[in-house]
């Protein structure tokens, strides 16, 4: 019965979604559910996502997709899989599943974190998610002392801190989180992001590597020179690690106007990239700016819902 519904969706996508491309966006694939990261795919969810797209859609690499968009030769129900930031679990958990289902993928790396630092949002989740603590000193960001009880209140508080810090200049953002750790005498969580060697291993296993700036700043908060530096630096570091050209880019946070501007798009072109992905929801076709490709957040927890939303997005745009 369910198989029939999936085949019907496949047929609708084939007929009404011609020459359209879905690009899925993931960050982590967690070995087990993490209550502080409820929206991240777990290994079991990611496995059925990949099983579904390999059975009912046509997973292709972003490079093939670009060629398909240019020549109007995209296969039916074309889909690309992408990951942002550069988590170790992209290599240890996701890659074996990608390999098993023969699904190509691109991983966009923010290069500063390959030295062992964690990203600011993870540092907040790790601090506030520490169940040994019920009270936090958040005077440094004007929130005073805050008590938490369950995971819901820990998550609410984390999101509140993220909202207060995300759009700070990235250097000040790091300083602010450093201060919160110091004020709470907290230990850093072990590294979550890939080392240079792990990035190279992932590439050697056939995963495309793209750039995602060096420090993961909100590019709109930087002047043109700083943006250029952040974008070019991540490209050149990755090219040294991989010993080959890096031509794909993802904007941190990824929303036009909020997170990057048309000036940023020009800088990305000048740096020698061939395409770039945003986090704007939707699908791409031959009329889409390849420097602002749209993506799709795969957060559904049921296969039929996931498939329906994929095809609905493909057909409606």
Binding residues for Zn ion, per CB under 5 A? 84-85, 252
Q: Which is nearer to Zn ion, 151 or 189 (CB)?
A: 189
In sequence order, the 6+-apart residues with CB closer than 8 A to the CB of 292 are: 256, 265, 276, 278, 280
Answer whether 85's CB lies under 8 Å from 109's CB.
Answer: yes
Q: What is the smallest separation between the CB atom of 254 and Zn ion, expressed in angstroms?
A: 7
Answer whether 240's CB lies under 8 Å from 200's CB.
Answer: no
Q: Which is nearer to Zn ion, 10 or 118 (CB)?
A: 118
As separate numbers, helices (DSSP H) first and strands (DSSP E) second, the chain gives: 12, 12
Provide φ and ψ at 13, rounded to 5°: -60, -40
Q: What is the smallest separation between the CB atom of 165 and Zn ion, expressed in angstroms?
A: 15
Tokens at residue 278, please?
Answer: 């945003």
Closest-approach residue to Zn ion (CB):
84
Closest alpha carbon to 210 in 260, 166, 272? 272
Q: What is the smallest separation between the CB atom of 212 and Zn ion, expressed in angstroms?
A: 6
Q: What is the smallest separation between the CB atom of 243 and Zn ion, expressed in angstroms?
A: 24
Closest alpha carbon to 25 in 283, 311, 304? 283
Q: How far apart are CA 139 and CA 246, in angstroms?
A: 42
Q: How far apart are CA 6 and CA 111, in angstroms?
A: 39
Q: What is the smallest separation between the CB atom of 50 and Zn ion, expressed in angstroms?
A: 21
In sequence order, the 6+-apart residues with CB closer than 8 A to the CB of 26 are: 41, 46, 81, 82, 83, 84, 94, 298
Q: Which is nearer to Zn ion, 109 or 161 (CB)?
A: 109
Tokens at residue 254, please?
Answer: 């990824």
Q: Which is nearer to Zn ion, 77 or 213 (CB)?
A: 213
In sequence order, the 6+-apart residues with CB closer than 8 A to the CB of 238 are: 109, 111, 199, 209, 211, 246
Q: Which is nearer to Zn ion, 84 or 215 (CB)?
A: 84
Q: Which is nearer to Zn ion, 221 or 286 (CB)?
A: 221
Q: Which is nearer to Zn ion, 56 or 260 (CB)?
A: 260
Q: What is the smallest separation between the CB atom of 267 and Zn ion, expressed in angstroms?
A: 17
Q: What is the smallest separation between the CB atom of 17 and Zn ion, expressed in angstroms?
A: 27
């Amino acid at each position: 019965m369910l198989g029939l519904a999936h085949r019907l969706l496949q047929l609708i996508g084939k007929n009404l979604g011609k020459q359209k491309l879905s690009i899925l966006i993931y960050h982590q694939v967690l070995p087990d559910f993490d209550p502080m990261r409820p929206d991240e795919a777990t290994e079991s969810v990611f496995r059925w996502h990949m099983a579904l797209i390999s059975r009912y859609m046509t997973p292709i690499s972003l490079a093939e997709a670009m060629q398909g968009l240019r020549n109007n030769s995209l296969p039916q129900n074309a889909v690309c899989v992408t990951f942002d930031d550069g988590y170790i679990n992209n290599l240890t958990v996701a890659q074996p599943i990608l390999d098993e289902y023969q699904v190509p993928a691109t991983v966009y790396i923010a290069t500063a974190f390959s030295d062992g630092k964690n990203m600011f949002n993870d540092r907040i989740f790790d601090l506030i998610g520490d169940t040994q603590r019920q009270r936090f000193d958040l005077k440094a960001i004007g929130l005073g002392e805050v008590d938490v009880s369950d995971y819901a209140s820990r998550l609410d508080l984390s999101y509140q801190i993220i909202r207060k810090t995300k759009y700070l200049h990235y250097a000040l953002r790091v300083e602010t989180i450093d201060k919160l750790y110091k004020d709470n005498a907290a230990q850093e969580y072990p590294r979550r992001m890939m080392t240079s060697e792990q990035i190279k291993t992932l590439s050697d296993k056939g995963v495309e590597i793209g750039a995602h700036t060096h420090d993961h700043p909100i590019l709109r908060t930087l002047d043109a020179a700083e943006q250029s530096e952040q974008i070019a630096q991540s490209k050149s570091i990755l090219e040294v690690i991989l010993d080959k050209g890096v031509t794909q880019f993802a904007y941190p946070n990824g929303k036009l106007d909020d997170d990057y501007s048309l000036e940023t798009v020009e800088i990305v072109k000048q740096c020698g990239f061939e395409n770039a992905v945003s986090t704007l929801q939707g699908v791409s076709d031959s009329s889409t700016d390849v420097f602002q490709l749209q993506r799709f957040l795969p957060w559904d927890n049921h296969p039929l819902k996931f498939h329906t939303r994929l095809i609905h997005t493909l057909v409606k745009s």
